């Protein structure tokens, strides 16, 4: 007579592996949430971004805290400087925005994503330079690029340690977001690039 306990143990082990995978995925999603996804995704797609990249930027910038204020005065989810936000609002024909307006996620996200797209276009689509300019300022990055002989730029090439860390964080987080949420399209059946 054959002992079925081995088969039972194997089934229990398989169930535990599957449950631990589900629990592990849930924990990862707690660490990498999609807060404000419904708000940010339409703007991301309209500006030619994968909404998951924008989630990675918001995670790095503010940890999804719409009331976040940096030591340098950047405000809200996308951590916009009030002067930059005012310039972007004028470009979009929105009129003047105040610092307090930047605590409104709908305003902050729209302005931040448009500004990120502006930087991407200014830097020929180079994502490393785009993110570096978002963090360190476009004038600073443009000056640094003009002094280089090489065209390709990696995050490790950036001369500012804070900006290097920021760019690496956003790019690493973006990879994680894509693995965790690859089945979350926006709009349904389509994804930004």
Burial tier of 87 (Cβ tally within 10 Å: 0-12, 13-18, 19+): middle
The conformational region for residue 192 under phi > 0 = left, psi -120 to 50 = alpha, else beta, is beta
pTM for the model: 0.81
Q: What separation in angstroms does the CA of 60 have from each of 166, 168, 188?
A: 7, 10, 26
Catalytically active residues are 61
| pLDDT per residue as tens, the chain (193 positions) | 445 566 666 666 555 555 556 666 777 778 889 999 999 999 999 999 999 999 999 999 999 999 999 999 999 999 999 999 999 999 999 989 999 999 999 999 999 999 999 999 999 999 999 999 999 888 888 888 778 766 667 777 767 878 889 999 999 999 999 988 877 655 444 443 3
Q: What is the pLDDT of residue 83?
A: 96
Q: Where are the beta strands (DSSP E) in 94-193?
A: none
């Amino acid at each position: 007579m054959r002992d079925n306990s081995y088969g039972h143990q194997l089934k229990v082990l398989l169930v535990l592996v599957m449950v631990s995978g589900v629990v592990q995925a849930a924990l990862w999603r707690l660490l990498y949430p999609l807060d404000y996804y419904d708000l940010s995704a339409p703007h991301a797609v309209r500006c030619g971004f994968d909404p998951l990249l924008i989630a990675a930027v918001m995670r790095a910038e503010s940890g999804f805290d719409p009331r976040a204020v940096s030591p340098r005065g950047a405000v809200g989810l996308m951590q916009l400087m009030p002067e930059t936000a005012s310039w972007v609002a004028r470009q979009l024909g929105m009129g003047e925005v105040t610092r307090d307006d930047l605590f409104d996620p709908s305003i902050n996200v729209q302005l931040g994503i448009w500004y990120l797209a502006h930087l991407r276009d200014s830097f020929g689509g180079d994502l490393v330079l785009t993110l570096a300019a978002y963090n360190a300022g476009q004038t600073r990055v443009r000056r640094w690029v003009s002094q280089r002989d090489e065209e390709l730029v990696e995050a490790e090439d950036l001369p500012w340690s804070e900006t290097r860390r920021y760019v690496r964080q956003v790019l690493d987080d973006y990879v994680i977001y894509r693995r965790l949420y690859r089945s979350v399209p926006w709009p349904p059946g389509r994804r930004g690039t």
